[in-house]
Structure 1
């Protein structure tokens, strides 16, 4: 019985921590304006990317920029972060 409780506790902890690790770059609503397709595989042109960035709320901009500057958070979003740094500039 103790083993079952330990396993359930570990599963619950992993699920909770998994949600905690999701950031602004993992939110489809935040990322969709920067892509041309629903699957978010093709990024918009430079002008459209800049326009999408300009229309993004300041708090989201700050969070996205911070996550792009964190190597671990930005790795799955390397192409997006490279464009963000190039087009939106460093803060």
Structure 2
């Protein structure tokens, strides 16, 4: 993991909190591409908030595969909300 991955992740959080979603997505993507699992999960959250459910599902699945607890939960919620509850179990 590059040494500035954590900084990119934290900047993504600040940008998202400031409503600068596109810039936040870039920072989360940079950190996610370097295997920062929290960033991958946050990309899922960002995509879900924007109604980009297929992308959110992909990010949640990726983070859940790395045993990220919140991503696993969020994936289940997303699947239930999309009426795919059999997959959420």
TM-score range normalised by the length of the shorter chain? 0.3 to 0.5
- Per chain length, whose mean CA-contact separation is higher, i.e. which structure has more relative contact order (CA < 8 Å, sep 6+)? 1
* TM-score, length-scaled by structure 2: 0.38
Structure of higher CA gyration radius: 1
